[in-house]
Amino acid sequence: MRAPLLRHTCAALLLALTLTDPLTFAQPSLTVTSSTKDLGNGVHVPGAIPSNLFEPLQHHLAFGKDYRTLYISWASFSFIRTPEVHFGTDPNNLNLTGTSRDSSTYPTSRTYNNHVKLMDLKPNTKYWYTVSYTNAAYAAYRPKYTFKTALQAGDMTPFSAAAFGDLGLMGPDGLSTRVGPLDTATNTVLGANETNTIQSLLQSADSYGFIAHFGDIGYADYYLRAATEGYFDNTPFLPTTKMIGVGHESLKEQFFDQMQPVTASRPWMVSLGNHEANCDNDANCPVGQTNFTFYINQFRMPGPDSGGVGNFWYSYNYGMAHFISLDTETDLGHGLAGPIQNKTNNHNGPFGVTMDAQIDWLVSNLKRVDRSRTPWVVVFLHRPWYTAVSPPSTPPAWQTAFEGIFQQYGVDIYMTGHVNTYERWSPRFNGTIDPKGYDNPSSPWPITVGAAGHFDGLDSFTNASTSKGWFGIDSIYGWSRLSFLDRQHVRLDYFSSGNSSIIDSQTLFKMH
């Protein structure tokens, strides 16, 4: 995740071209500007300022708590009083309209985030849609996008979800085939002729119904780090606070533009990570860029629909599975300190109205799961507690908060990121491997997929050879797919982003 402002027009155009060609990659621009504008040829350059400030950009979707509702979100460079979505099951007759008054921004943002909640949808149904000012004068051309609603709870039709954490910007101002002159990290570049994770997700989009992204979204907070490593030749090694704020916003805009070809048609269900907390992963942010500000404004998750809190903790149903997203960064309950809660100068959380709000909600949510309709229960959260990368000597607070509840209420799988590797641990609880392995275990299955790729590359295993019931990869960028085959079988596939091949696979059997 190289964090830049915006780049020269030629570098920006090169990035736009590479997103359409999965076998080529742009080089880092090394030069950062904050005034790049679209070229005026009907194509939007990622991160650029459009000629029409109402032009819809950065489209992304999210489920409500079930098939009936879906959020459509996009950005614009101007306030929209009444955001609108026109949609329907016939691409030639978008006869339905959803509206809202949800067009929000924050002091350092260049864009407004627009959100419309669609309701009364049919299950497992394909819709076409457009949003406010689509194809308006001087705007880049946009086709009618599509989305497909969730399967109704209790529908045992097989389905798949893409799942990963820790995905950053790609191309000239992000992860590419080059690094800055002072970069000393390993595994930080893409190989020649490799596709990146965003491209691989786009190539494989027909193989999954939605995306679960469990934290570290874009790495816009790495602008300062990239600058101090000499990545930009026109940026001082010690940028001003204002430059850091503008750099964060530019990187964020580029990332969401790059994701749009995927997220405009596949719901993107996110969990927060530490890199969403503030604008530089430290304490140099302008007012308005701390306390998960961009994360709160950019997304609409089904927290209110499921009794949770905003984008922080929530749940939703899809066919035979009940999914839960949790916050490992704050609100761990029972006096436990979140790893970045109220960190000096950042003021991160808490977000619950009581100390135990998230924990109480989780227990209540799990108690209400109807396992006859949704036999599978899967949790997404950012930080792992089992890892072969500098494993903790004592249980971290988030393990203390969550693992016992997962065991007590029969969570089948939990997936994490944060550690920038792929790690498949056999089912276990409190450090003890379940003797049944993947054949009807009573303990949950921990999986870490944090190798989607970003500016700082991958981590290296430090304790791999002594870990029993473990398989890991620390040298290949990738993402995973969870396939729910029936009420008793789930298959995990791990894909190499470089060529979209499956390099690890494991099936779990549970007697639900």
- List, for residues 205-262, the tens digit of each pLDDT value: 999 999 999 999 999 998 888 888 877 665 666 778 888 888 899 899 999 999 999 9
Cα separation, 291 vs 216, in Å, equals 14
Inside any domain, residue 46? yes
List Cα–Cα distances, 337 to 122, 282, 330, in angstroms. Answer: 42, 18, 7
Check if the beta carbon of residue 172 is closer than 8 Å to that of residue 439.
no
Residue with tokens 């309209």, as numbered in its chain: 97
Inside any domain, residue 260? no
Inside any domain, residue 283? no
pLDDT tens-digit map of 393-434: 899 999 999 999 999 999 999 999 999 999 999 999 999 999
* Residue 454 pLDDT: 92
* Residue 488 pLDDT: 99
pLDDT band at 8 (very low <50, low <70, confident <90, very high): very low
* Residue 457 pLDDT: 92
Q: What are phi and psi of 22, to 5 degrees?
A: -70, -5
Cα separation, 398 vs 336, in Å, equals 8
Residue with tokens 């002072």, as numbered in its chain: 182
Domain range for residue 123?
6-148
Cα separation, 331 vs 337, in Å, equals 8
Inside any domain, residue 63? yes
pLDDT at 197 over 70: yes
Inside any domain, residue 163? no
Inside any domain, residue 34? yes
Q: What are phi and psi of 75, to 5 degrees?
A: -110, 155
**Contact partners, residue 490, CB within 8 Å, separation at least 6:** 376, 412, 413, 482, 483, 484, 507, 508, 510
List Cα–Cα distances, 5 to 35, 285, 323, 382, in angstroms. Answer: 9, 15, 36, 27
**Contact partners, residue 194, CB within 8 Å, separation at least 6:** 25, 477, 497, 498, 499
What CATH number corresponds to the domain at position 136?
Answer: 2.60.40.380
pLDDT tens-digit map of 60-76: 999 999 999 999 999 99
Half-sphere exposure of 448 (CA within 13 A, CB side): 25
DSSP string, 178-226: ---TT---SS-SPPTT---HHHHHHHTGGG-SEEEEES-EE-GGGHHHH
| Phi-psi label, residue 261: left if phi above 0, alpha if psi -120 to 50, beta otherwise | alpha
The 3-state DSSP class for residue 293 equals helix
Inside any domain, residue 395? no
pLDDT at 34 over 90: no
* Residue 4 pLDDT: 32
* Residue 233 pLDDT: 60
Q: How many domains does the chain have?
A: 1
Strand 413-416 relative to strand 145-148: parallel, antiparallel, unpaired?
A: unpaired
pTM for this predicted structure: 0.92
Of all residues in the chain, what percent are helix, strand and coil, respectively (each to 5)? 15, 25, 55
pLDDT at 468 over 90: no
* Residue 285 pLDDT: 81
CA torsion sign for 169, 173, 179, 184 is negative
Inside any domain, residue 272? no
pLDDT at 455 over 90: no
Cα separation, 506 vs 149, in Å, equals 28
Half-sphere exposure of 305 (CA within 13 A, CB side): 21
Residues in the chain: 512
pLDDT band at 29 (very low <50, low <70, confident <90, very high): very low
Task: List the structure tokens of 356.
Answer: 């135990």
For residue 495, give the nearest of 508, 474, 476 by alpha carbon. 476
In sequence order, the β-bridge partners of residue 377 are 322
* Residue 486 pLDDT: 98
